[in-house]
Amino acid sequence: ELKVEQNPLFLSMQEGKNYTIYCNYSTTSDRLYWYRQDPGKSLESLFVLLSNGAVKQEGRLMASLDTKARLSTLHITAAVHDLSATYFCAVAPHTGTASKLTFGTGTRLQVTL
C-alpha cells in the first residue's frame, strides 16, 4: 500500500523567511502533485511533477522531485502572509490509467507578520 508522509505537519514562519516542506512516498511513482487548500475550500493545483529531477517554480514556491529517493520538496522563498494555507502532496503510482491520488497528511503553513 502506498504511503505518503509529509513533514512538518505544522509550520509557523515569519514573513520573509525561507522554508522547505518534505513529501516522502513509499513506492515507485512517476507522478507527484502539490495542492494548496485554504480553510473550508477546495484543492487548488500548484505543481505537476512527472519525472526525476523535475523542478517547477511559481512565484515564491518551488517544487522538485527525486524519484530515486522517493522525495519531493516544496520550497518557500521569502514567505508572505498570503501563502498561509494547508499544502498537500499527492502521488499517483501509475501512468495513463484512472489511478487514484494518495494524499499526504498535509502541512499547515502559517505565515506571521
Looking at the Cβ atoms of 24 and 99, the one nearer to other proteins is 99
Between CA 54 and CA 92 the distance in angstroms is 16
Looking at the Cβ atoms of 25 and 33, the one nearer to other proteins is 33
DSSP 82: G
The least CB distance from residue 50 to other proteins, in Å, is: 6
The least CB distance from residue 51 to other proteins, in Å, is: 10
Sites for other proteins among residues 63-102 (CB under 8 A)? 88, 90, 95-102
In angstroms, how far is the first alpha carbon of the chain from the final one?
41
Rounded to the nearest 10 degrees, how much is the dihedral formed by the CA atoms of 7, 13, 15, 21? -10
Looking at the Cβ atoms of 10 and 15, the one nearer to other proteins is 10
Letters for 34-53 (x = contact with other proteins by CB under 8 A, - = none) are: -x----xxxxxx--x-x---
Looking at the Cβ atoms of 78 and 93, the one nearer to other proteins is 93
Q: Is 81 helix (H, G, I), strand (E, B) or coil?
A: helix
Residues binding other proteins: number (CB under 8 A): 25
Q: Is 28 helix (H, G, I), strand (E, B) or coil?
A: coil
Give contact residues for other proteins (rule: CB under 8 A). 31, 33, 35, 40-45, 48, 50, 88, 90, 95-106
